[in-house]
């Protein structure tokens, strides 16, 4: 009875994960970048003790990084601080923030077991700097990165062609893997057919 119960729970878990995509959903490259932006803003605001003051976000973003503007404002507001990008806003605290580089890179393709799914290591990073007007013009640099593993076949769905920085050089699939899989499939099919006719002849 215990074995049956355990099996039922496993089947139920598989069904739930099949119905709710979030169980195995991988963040897109842009989503990971936004998480890293959140981390950089948290670091920047850690130096501010007066949460009553409004922060004027003076964003120094290149055109390709303009997509992060709303995320930066949301990140500031998540820290329970007022924020604005309006030039005429009360500039009690001016946060000058810039992203200098953002990139994605992939490692070599590898398998998850014999004839398993192809995976690659994914590395995403952002770097930049920030300063406040209430400090002695001391620029602080930041660097954040995320390293995880993603399915090789899903790389293109994780990238966004509208934002080139979310795209990395896609590694090539190993030649022996491409050659070996069809051979195994053909051999398996041949064995099955041979067994089928052997059984029928008897």
pTM for this structure? 0.72
Identify the bridge partners of residue 121 per DSSP, sorted by sequence position: 149
| Residue 15 belongs to a domain | no
Pair (177, 111) in one structural domain: no
Pair (96, 189) in one structural domain: no
> pLDDT tens digits for the chain (202 residues)?
343 433 333 433 443 444 444 445 899 999 999 999 999 999 888 877 665 567 888 898 999 999 999 999 999 888 767 777 665 655 567 889 999 999 999 999 998 766 678 999 999 999 999 988 765 667 899 999 999 999 999 999 999 999 999 999 999 876 555 545 555 556 666 666 766 666 656 5
Pair (31, 130) in one structural domain: yes
Distance from C-alpha of 144 to C-alpha of 109, rounded to nearest angstrom: 24
Which sign, positive or negative, has the C-alpha torsion 163, 168, 174, 175? positive
Pair (145, 194) in one structural domain: no
> Which domain does 141 fall in, by range?
26-171
| Residue 45 belongs to a domain | yes
| Residue 150 belongs to a domain | yes
Pair (161, 180) in one structural domain: no
CATH number for the domain spanning 159: value is: 3.30.160
Pair (183, 144) in one structural domain: no
Q: How many domains does the chain fold into? A: 2
Distance from C-alpha of 148 to C-alpha of 144, rounded to nearest angstrom: 14
Residue 27's contacts (CB-CB under 8 Å, 6 or more residues apart) are: 35, 158
Of the chain, the end-to-end C-alpha distance in Å amounts to 40
Q: What is the pLDDT of residue 48?
A: 73
- pLDDT tens digit string along 101-123? 999 999 999 987 666 789 999 99
Distance from C-alpha of 9 to C-alpha of 22, rounded to nearest angstrom: 19
- pLDDT tens digit string along 43-70? 888 877 665 567 888 898 999 999 999 9
Pair (104, 131) in one structural domain: yes
Pair (117, 185) in one structural domain: no
| Residue 6 belongs to a domain | no
| Residue 9 belongs to a domain | no
Pair (107, 54) in one structural domain: yes
Q: What is the pLDDT of residue 153?
A: 92
| Residue 16 belongs to a domain | no
| Residue 7 belongs to a domain | no
Cα atoms in the 13 Å half-sphere on the side-chain side of 53: 15
Pair (166, 195) in one structural domain: no
Pair (132, 75) in one structural domain: yes
Pair (85, 72) in one structural domain: yes
| Residue 49 belongs to a domain | yes
Query: Three-class SS of residue 152?
Result: helix
Q: What is the pLDDT of residue 95?
A: 85
């Amino acid at each position: 009875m215990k074995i049956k119960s355990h099996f039922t729970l496993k089947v139920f878990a598989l069904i739930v994960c099949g119905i709710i995509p979030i169980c195995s959903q991988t963040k897109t490259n842009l989503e990971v970048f936004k998480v890293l932006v959140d981390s950089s803003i948290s670091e920047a605001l850690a130096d501010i003790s007066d949460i009553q003051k409004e922060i004027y976000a003076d964003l120094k973003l290149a055109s390709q990084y303009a997509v992060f503007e709303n995320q930066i404002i949301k990140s500031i507001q998540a820290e329970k601080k007022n924020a604005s990008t309006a030039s005429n806003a009360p500039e009690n605290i001016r946060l000058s923030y810039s992203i200098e580089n953002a990139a994605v890179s992939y490692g070599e393709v590898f398998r998850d077991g014999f004839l398993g799914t192809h995976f690659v290591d994914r590395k995403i990073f952002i770097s930049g700097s920030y300063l406040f007007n209430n400090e002695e013009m001391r620029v602080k640099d930041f660097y954040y990165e995320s390293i995880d593993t993603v399915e090789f076949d899903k790389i293109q769905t994780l990238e966004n062609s509208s934002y080139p920085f979310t795209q990395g050089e896609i590694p090539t699939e190993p030649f022996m893997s491409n050659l070996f899989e069809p051979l195994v499939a053909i051999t398996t099919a041949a064995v099955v057919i041979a067994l089928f006719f052997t059984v029928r002849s008897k």
